[in-house]
Amino acid sequence: MAQPAIDPLPSWNDGPAKDAILDFVRRVTMDDSSDFVPVHERVAVFDNDGTLWCEMPVPVQAYFAADRIKALLPEHPEWRITEPFKSQLAGDVKGVMAQGIKGVAEIAMATHAGMTTDEFDTIDLRCEHGYAYADLFTGYANLVIIEHADKSYSLYGHLSSLSVKKGDRVDAGTTVGLAGRNPAGNPSLYFELRIDGKPVDPLQWLKR
């Protein structure tokens, strides 16, 4: 019995772009093709367009820059009243974009320049926001899972309603839902904290 063909790009919509990519790969990897490229000569170059980094709602570099502006603010109190930093600190994307490419470049330079790659690697990327998964989940009723920037996770279950949806950015102080009841019918809120994929006692963190 013939096996169904496996789609090598299952997350891509069918169309000219997908067809062109698949055709290119076939042409450079088939021995009898005039465009064949030997394995040792193949070099793949990727940009941000749906490959390595997400671009919506904004490129990930923008989130990094926003967090670095907050982290560096104690060293630059003038940013509170100086554009484009004033708009960036207020979360006013339109205000930043109103400064044009000059404003975007100023933010990029302030958050990326003047350091070596080794120094860049040591930057603490933890920040005060995360991204949510929110849905019904067996045993937990309405469940919200927040993935934080340091790759820790906080879980909130037995919620009576959800105030966020999957993919939402969740800042410190954001209401993610309302407490509900456990399977026994008692008022309840399930809370769990995971670090490196393992559950930890949240009390040591809640005291901070």
Give the model confidence (pLDDT) of 151-186 as tens digits.
678 888 888 888 888 777 777 778 888 888 877 777
Chain-centroid distance, C-alpha 175: 20
Q: Which of 41-45, 63-67, 128-132, 150-154 has the lowest mean pLDDT?
A: 128-132
Cβ-based neighbours of 206, under 8 Å, separated by 6 or more: none
110-162 per-position pLDDT tens digit: 988 888 877 777 765 544 556 567 777 777 788 888 877 666 788 888 888 88
- For Cα atoms 112, 113, 115, give the angle at the middle one, nearest 5 degrees: 100
Under DSSP, is residue 111 helix (H, G, I), strand (E, B) or coil? helix
Superfamily covering domain 129-206: Glucose Permease (Domain IIA) (2.70.70.10)
- Phi and psi torsions of 58, nearest 5°: -145, 160
CB 160 within 8 A of CB 140: no
> Residue ranges per domain, the chain?
14-44, 60-121, 129-206
At residue 16, φ and ψ (nearest 5 deg) are -60, -40
What values do phi and psi take at 28, rounded to 5? -90, -5
H helices of 50-138, where?
60-72, 85-89, 93-97, 100-112, 117-121
DSSP category for residue 39? G
> Which band of pLDDT confidence, cut at 50, 70 and 90, is reported for residue 205?
low
DSSP-derived letter for residue 204 is: H
pTM (two decimals): 0.41
